[in-house]
Each structure stands twice: as structure tokens, then as C-alpha cells.
């Protein structure tokens, strides 16, 4: 989904008011995650249609960060986990860039 399109305008006109209503509730973070995944899943350079192929990469990075943050709360070797999480992102970047 690209910004200067009617699709983005329709998406924004639905997503933003709902976000304003739920941002201070328990559903706020889940709503933000859901609309972010829809936004990134919609991107396709050829026809702009729904293509969730790249969502696997985003979900992988999100899951690694979430698990690393949960484990960091309980262990003393936080710097090692942070380094591994950053290396995960660098590895994904290197794989898809080169």
C-alpha cells in the first residue's frame, strides 16, 4: 500500500479513528499490530493487491524481539540477548539486501 493512493486513504480513514478509540485500552497494542500487518501485507509493486508473503519476515522479527524482551526480564545476561536480537535483524537485512 503506497501513501498517495485511494486505498491508503480508505485504510487510514478506518484505522486511525479506531486507533484513537482503543489506544489507551488493552486492545490498543493489538490493534496497532494488526493494522501494521495489514499495511505491510498490502504492499506489492506491480498491482497493489494484498500479498502477505513479506509478513513472514515481519512476524519472525517481531516474535524474536518479543521473546527476547520476555527473557530479558528474567535473566542477568541481557546484553547477550540484545546482541542476538540485533544480529537476527542484521542477518535478515543482509539476506534480503544481498
Mind listing the pLDDT tens digit for each residue in 17-34? 999 999 999 999 999 999
Closest CA to 8 of 59, 56, 43, 54: 43
Determine the Cα angle at 87 with ends 81 and 90, to 5°: 150
Residue-by-residue pLDDT tens, the chain, 98 positions: 677 888 889 999 999 999 999 999 999 999 999 999 888 888 765 655 666 777 888 899 999 999 999 999 999 999 999 999 999 999 999 988 88
- Whether the predicted model's global pTM rises above the 0.75 cut: no
Amino acid at each position: 500500500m503506497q501513501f498517495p493512493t485511494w486505498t491508503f486513504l480508505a485504510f487510514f480513514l478506518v484505522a486511525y479513528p479506531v486507533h484513537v478509540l482503543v489506544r489507551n485500552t488493552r486492545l490498543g497494542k493489538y490493534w496497532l499490530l494488526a493494522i501494521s500487518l495489514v499495511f505491510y501485507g498490502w504492499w506489492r509493486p506491480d498491482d497493489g493487491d494484498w500479498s502477505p508473503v513479506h509478513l513472514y519476515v515481519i512476524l519472525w522479527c517481531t516474535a524474536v524481539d518479543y521473546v527476547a524482551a520476555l527473557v530479558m526480564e528474567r535473566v542477568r545476561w541481557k546484553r547477550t540477548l540484545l546482541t542476538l536480537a540485533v544480529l537476527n535483524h542484521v542477518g535478515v537485512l543482509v539476506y534480503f539486501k544481498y
